[in-house]
Chain A
Amino acid sequence: MTAGFTIQLRFFASVREQLGCSEQTVTLPPEVVTVGQVRQWLIGRGGVWAVTLAQGRNLRAAYQQEMCDESVEIADGHEVAFFPPVTGG
């Protein structure tokens, strides 16, 4: 079996708290190539991952520290983040 991309995951605010995790380096299966597929793959871990990242939840994603759609394609060594809608200011 070939390994897929290795990426850096980051989580913020309520997502970080619920997961009990702020960052993690993961090696993805080869078929996981978009931000949305990363989310779905994390949901597949079950438990708190499935609850926190559930598709019904209004979450935002960033790729390489820029807001992105879940259709964005990822590359090896890059950074993907999930968090709730922002509330600064």
Chain B
Amino acid sequence: MKIAIQTADFDVSAELAALRAAHRDIGAIVSFVGTVREANAGSAILHMELEHYPGMTEKSLVYIVQKAEKRWEINDVVVIHRIGVLPVCAQIVLVAVASKHRGTAFEACEFIMDYLKTEAPFWKKEVGEHGAQWVDARSTDLSALDKWE
């Protein structure tokens, strides 16, 4: 398991190559990358600012990955989440899951993202031409958890 919270960008290809090199018995890697959209609710965004709760964030991500490991036979997981100022089109988050077969990796990757969105202490602020505002939590993110109950 690799959990990282960082201001620096990440290289998806290098992360996936490291997973392949470390596990000869995997047959699938599913990865998800979240990015900064140019607009939200119709107003243009210049960049985003991401804040987190140092200490709790890491613990929370480890706990979410462990929950996935209990549910599926997965070989390894990488979660990288960026913080700080992120311009439009920037990568925000990477979740990559390696397993023997693809079905498990697809499901576990979605599970980890769904819980990250609702439980990991990160907050986004959108900075646009007309000022800055904190992003509101979406009820659809919470209801996405229903399918894992």
B-side interface size class: 20 to 34
Q: Interface on chain B toward A: helix, strand, loop, or mixed SS?
A: mixed
What chain A residues lie within 8 Å of B136 (beta carbons)? Answer: 85, 87
Bound Cα distance from A59 to B52, whole angstroms: 16
Task: Give a binary string over B2-43; 1 marks a CB under 8 Å from any A CB, 0 the rest.
Answer: 000000000000000000000000000000001000000000
Question: In whole angstroms, how far apart are the Cα atoms of A85 and B137 in the complex?
Answer: 6
From 5 to 55 in chain A, residues with beta carbon under 8 angstroms from any chain B beta carbon are 10, 12-14
Q: Report yes or no: A86 in contact with B119, Cβ–Cβ below 8 A.
A: yes
Is the CB of B65 closer than 8 A to any CB of chain A? Answer: no
A89 within 8 A of B: yes
- Chain B proximity mask over A57-89: 1 for CB below 8 Å, otherwise 0: 000001001110000000000000101111111
Given A83-B121, A84-B134, output 16 extra A-B contacts at Cβ < 8 Å.
A12-B51, A13-B134, A14-B134, A67-B60, A85-B118, A86-B118, A86-B119, A86-B121, A86-B137, A87-B123, A87-B124, A88-B52, A88-B116, A88-B121, A89-B113, A89-B122
